């Protein structure tokens, strides 16, 4: 699928990996509607709660109304917490665990299921492409990452079943598992912490650039033989 003149939705598109994806897709000639919980200006931004069936349906309807349909769905909306299973203050808070899974995993599925229904109406050989955001935490989860790792492992685990489910409709599904990226959240850490994280990356020994994520998402869209795959984008980092 050519990005030029395609119609894309990007969740979490107001910042970080999502914002970089929006910028790159638009630069390549795609129409993009941003779905984000943060309010935004302009007709190409829709405020949406990805965990809500009603909110997601309304947001998808608005995106279709503004672009005439959907060809691409990139799910970047996500949250992270750090909490041990059993810490100084007792067991892991159940509500916080549930919230991470709800946003990262269920939220992604909520949006993609609705986007797929719109893609199926396109009536082409290749009707759509879905790109979800996993994480290397799905495979190399660290202390305090039980909730986050579980949510991202769910993203990785549903990739192949989704691809198989949607194959007859001409819709491909892949996921990107990023390593340590220089998102606004990470840039808020002290510089020495950032430098220490970057030094762990095998090659190149630096933090990932959000533009690199965006270009991989674009490549997945444009490479018709990529399907059902979870692609690590981490500079060969394997977390200890």
Q: Is residue 113 within a helix (H) or strand (E), and if so which, with residue range?
A: helix 107-119
| Domains defined for the chain, CATH in brackets | 7-233 (3.40.50.720)
pLDDT for the residue numbered 91:
97
The answer to whether residue 225 is catalytic is no
Per-residue pLDDT tens over the stretch 149-179: 999 999 999 999 999 999 999 999 999 999 9
Three-state SS for 57-107 is: HHHHHHHHHHHCCCCEEEECCCCCCCCCCEECCEECCHHHHHHHHHHHHHH
pLDDT for the residue numbered 76:
98
pLDDT for the residue numbered 108:
98
pLDDT for the residue numbered 58:
97
pLDDT for the residue numbered 104:
97
pLDDT for the residue numbered 159:
98
Half-sphere exposure of 207 (CA within 13 A, CB side): 20
d(CA 52, CA 58): 10
- Catalytically annotated residue among 25, 97, 148, 181: 148
pLDDT for the residue numbered 62:
97
Contact 29, 5 (CB under 8 A): yes
pLDDT for the residue numbered 236:
94
In this prediction, the residues of the chain whose per-residue pLDDT falls under 50 are none
Contact 1, 221 (CB under 8 A): yes
């Amino acid at each position: 699928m050519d990005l030029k003149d395609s119609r894309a939705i990007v969740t979490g598109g107001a910042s970080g990996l999502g914002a970089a994806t929006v910028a790159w897709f638009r630069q390549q000639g795609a129409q993009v509607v941003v779905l984000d919980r943060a309010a935004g200006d302009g007709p190409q931004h829709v405020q949406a709660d990805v965990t809500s069936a009603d909110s997601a349906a309304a947001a998808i309807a608005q995106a279709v109304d503004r672009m005439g349909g959907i060809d691409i769905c990139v799910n970047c909306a996500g949250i992270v917490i750090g909490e041990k299973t059993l810490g100084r203050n007792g067991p892991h808070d159940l509500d916080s665990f549930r919230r991470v899974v709800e946003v990262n995993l269920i939220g992604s599925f909520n949006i993609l299921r609705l986007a797929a229904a719109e893609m199926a109406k396109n009536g082409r050989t290749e009707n759509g492409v879905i790109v979800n955001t996993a994480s290397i935490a799905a495979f190399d989860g660290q202390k305090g990452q039980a909730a986050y790792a579980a949510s991202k492992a769910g993203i990785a685990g549903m990739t192949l079943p989704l691809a198989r489910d949607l194959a007859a409709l001409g819709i491909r599904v892949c996921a990107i598992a990023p390593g340590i990226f220089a998102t606004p959240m990470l840039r808020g850490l002290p510089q020495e912490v950032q430098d220490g994280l970057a030094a762990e990356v095998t090659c190149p020994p630096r933090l990932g650039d959000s533009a690199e994520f965006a270009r991989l998402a674009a490549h997945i869209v444009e490479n018709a033989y990529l399907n059902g795959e979870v692609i690590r984008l981490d500079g060969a980092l394997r977390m200890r």
